[in-house]
Amino acid sequence: MATSLAMIVLLGLLANTLFTKLKMPGLLGMLILGVVIGPYVFNWLDPNLLKVSADFRQIALIIILLRAGLGISRDDLTKVGSTAIKLSCIPGLIEGFTITFISTIILGFSFIEGGILGFIIAAVSPAVVVPQMLEFTEKGVGTDKGIPTLILAGSSIDDVFAITIFTTFLGLYSGSHVNIGIQILTIPISIILGIVIGFMIGLAMVRIFRKYHIRDTKKVLFILGSAIMLTALENILKNKIEIAGLLGVMAIGFIILEKRPKVAKRLAAKFNKIWIFAEILLFVLVGAQVNISVAFDAGVKGLMIIFIGLIGRSLGVVLSTLGTDLNWKERLFCVISYTPKATVQAAIGAIPLSLGVKSGEVILAIAVLSILVTAPLGAIGIKASAKRFLTHSQP
């Protein structure tokens, strides 16, 4: 496994550098590298590493979300609050139900099978979106109207809606007595619980840091360990109550910034350094989950469903930004920023097949295809449209 990790790091750095020099997002190079060295092409990675791939990806995602939380001030959040809430649910719901209905026509799915597919695809990828928004924040791109913060906050909650409704449809398919109203009600509860627990952990960290002199490196380890435990708690309580763990992770960073801004700035710099390694692990291992031959099985029909769903999502983004001071270029940037799929689809795309859903193979194929199509195009689109559509000011 050590050899595979070394290969990922060395080749990942090379791929990142190469694509950056080509004026393309470095994450795209790392995703492609993951596909190439993964089990479905050259199969160079140790199977034991692939078994713990989900844990590595989760830790990498926690690192970038902690860094995001350490960069979101109360003023920034207040500025975009109501719009971020709308962006967190409206685009995903429209995309999910658009795919639900269209798949009954194009693929002959039942409504429940369509719902399973729809809300696997509906989740936006924080792994693709968050790093780029942090980069824009640091460079002062779009910050005059808080656009990076808007996308950061909205995309982090978007997944909560998608995964909860996906779980509901999966329960309906298996014949479980699922109360849809109660399941929908759990969404705001899970969001509130995640934020509250994150705030409590953040406040505990602040008190410890005030009382004891601790090196910044150890502070980072304290925070990272606590955040991982929060997501572990989410998994333990999953069958009893949902907790928006990743949102709680961001809340930890937010409260530290609120209470100890100077400390938060130093910690953010530390997390930036850790992210160099975590980013490589995240994107290479996400790429390693992609089976190209399975994606090809989805064919033209799969592409049609994905793009029709994206039209629905784009409409949702436009509706969510009505009444704001964003101009049409900035709204178009928000539309593009909400297109990438990767982390959630890689994590849950195979669940229906493993549980014996009749259309599980087709659902998996379209989920994989959505990663192959939207992750690179979305990453390139975000980078290119930020230059053309957003204002550039001093950070």
pLDDT tens-digit map of 80-92: 878 999 999 999 9
Least confident window among 35-44, 69-78, 98-107 = 69-78
Residue 164, pLDDT score: 86
Closest CA to 33 of 44, 23, 20: 44
Least confident window among 2-16, 205-219, 236-250 = 236-250
Residue 181, pLDDT score: 66
Q: Domain 54-389: which topology?
A: Na+/H+ antiporter like fold (1.20.1530)
Does residue 49 register a pLDDT over 90? yes
Does residue 179 register a pLDDT over 80? no
Mean pLDDT of 262-290: 93
* Cβ-based neighbours of 275, under 8 Å, separated by 6 or more: 63, 64, 67, 131
pLDDT tens-digit map of 331-390: 999 999 999 998 889 888 989 998 889 999 899 999 989 999 999 999 999 999 999 999
Mean pLDDT of 209-235: 93
Beta bridge partners of 163: none
Contact 319, 67 (CB under 8 A): no
Question: Quick one: which H or E segment has residue 297?
Answer: helix 292-320
Contact 4, 45 (CB under 8 A): yes
One-letter identity of residue 310: L
Does residue 317 register a pLDDT over 90? yes
* Cβ-based neighbours of 238, under 8 Å, separated by 6 or more: none
Does residue 176 register a pLDDT over 70? no
Q: Where are the domains of the chain?
A: 54-389
* Cβ-based neighbours of 241, under 8 Å, separated by 6 or more: 186, 189, 190, 193
Closest CA to 310 of 335, 329, 276: 335
Residue 92, pLDDT score: 95
Does residue 395 register a pLDDT over 60? no
Share of the chain above pLDDT 90, in %: 68
Beta bridge partners of 392: 141
**For the chain, what is the mean pLDDT?**
91
Place of tokens 């759990």: 186
Closest CA to 112 of 89, 95, 96: 96
Does residue 206 register a pLDDT over 90? yes
Residue 177, pLDDT score: 62
Distances (CA, A) of 46 to 54, 243, 279, 395: 14, 33, 19, 43
